[in-house]
Every structure is written in structure tokens, then in C-alpha cells.
Amino acid sequence: MSSVPPAEPVWLAQYRKLARLWARGGANRHDAEDAAQDAALRCLERAGSALEDPSAYLRRSVANRLVSLHRAQRVRQAQALHELAEPEHPAAASAEAHYQARQLAERLTDALCELPPACQEAFRLRRFDGLSNGEIAERLGVSRNMVERHMMRAMRYLHDRMGS
């Protein structure tokens, strides 16, 4: 009597295909794999609710995730002050502007100190050290998804605390 192996879940059957497809399309291989993994996780989390077309859901989820990653990378790309030509340097601020900036920095520091240590560290590594979510995840020993959650929590809290 031969037993038939159980059918492979849709997300598993599509995982390698999606990661390869997006990596071949120009996305970083690791980002493509992360996006496919995130989409598969969301698919598993929705196991109780029926998806009309799981393959289409996975493809769209991976595409959306890669677009988000691309946008985040574009925002991070900034030009250093020493790379600007002299006329493009910002003008010196007035004493009042320095005072306001110092006050804002103190309020920001106070607000950051109110966050949990993991959120503080993720925010510092991202905003001050310029590390990517993947680099932060490696350094903190957590998943990239957890880094994103820490950043969202920190940004939401700072927005509320600082009055946008």
C-alpha cells in the first residue's frame, strides 16, 4: 500500500520561485528572500481566513515589500556635508536657532530615554549610525521584522511626544 505525500502548502511551493524571480529582477537576493519569507508568514497567519488566490497574494505581498525596501533605501541615501560644494553648504544659524535646536535636542533625548532599551538602540543605530535594518538585526541578534517594529514604535512615540 503506497501512501501519497501530503500536498505542499502554496506558500512553500511559491517561496523559492518568488525569491528567485525577484532576485533576478534586480532586487538584492537577501531582500528578496526576506520579502518572500514575510509574505509566507502573513499567509500562514491568515490560515484561518480563506484566500481566493494564495499565489497572487504572495506575489503582491513580495512586490509590496520590495517596493517598501527600495523606498527606505532611497531615503537613506543622503549626501555628506563634506561632499557638497562650498556654495551649497547651509548658512550659519542665528543664536536663536542654536538655542531652539538645543532645546529640541534635549526634548528628543528625554523622549528617547522613555522608550524601552531595544527601541532606543534600534533608533540610535538607524538614525545616528546609519545602519540598515539587516545590519541592526545582526548586531542586536533579532529578526529584521523585530527591528522594523522597534523603529515603528520609536517613531510613533516620538511623533506623539514631540508633537510631530
As for how many domains the chain has, the answer is: 2
Residue-level pLDDT at 89:
65
pLDDT digits (tens, 9 = 90+) for 18-42: 777 666 666 677 777 777 777 777 7
Identify whether 39 is part of a domain.
Answer: yes
Cβ contacts of 30 within 8 Å, gap of 6 or more: 134
Identify whether 55 is part of a domain.
Answer: yes
Q: Is there a single domain that holds both residue 22 and residue 61?
A: yes
Q: Is there a single domain that holds both residue 105 and residue 149?
A: yes
CA dist., res. 18 & res. 36, Å (int): 6
Q: Is there a single domain that holds both residue 29 and residue 70?
A: yes
Identify whether 81 is part of a domain.
Answer: no
Q: Is there a single domain that holds both residue 27 and residue 71?
A: yes
How many CB atoms lie under 10 A from the CB of residue 23?
Answer: 17
Residue-level pLDDT at 23:
67
Q: Is there a single domain that holds both residue 19 and residue 68?
A: yes
Identify whether 80 is part of a domain.
Answer: no
Identify whether 95 is part of a domain.
Answer: no
Identity (one letter) of the amino acid at 93?
Answer: A
Q: Is there a single domain that holds both residue 49 and residue 106?
A: no
Burial letters for 96-135: b for 16+ Cβ neighbours within 10 Å, e otherwise?
eeeeeeeeeeeeeeebbeebeebbebbbebbeeeebbbee
Residue found under cell 532645546: 103
Q: Is there a single domain that holds both residue 15 and residue 71?
A: yes
Q: Is there a single domain that holds both residue 70 and residue 119?
A: no
Residue-level pLDDT at 35:
74
CA dist., res. 115 & res. 75, Å (int): 24
Residue-level pLDDT at 4:
47
pLDDT digits (tens, 9 = 90+) for 85-141: 777 666 666 788 888 888 888 888 888 899 999 999 999 998 888 889 999 999 999
Identify whether 90 is part of a domain.
Answer: no
- Which of 75, 90, 114 is where one domain is finished? 75
Identify whether 93 is part of a domain.
Answer: no
Identify whether 18 is part of a domain.
Answer: yes
Q: How many residues does the chain have?
A: 164
CA dist., res. 58 & res. 39, Å (int): 6
User: Domain containing 138: what range?
Assistant: 100-162
Helix axes 95-113, 144-162, angle to 10 degrees: 130
Nearest Cα to Cα of residue 59 among 97, 25, 99: 25
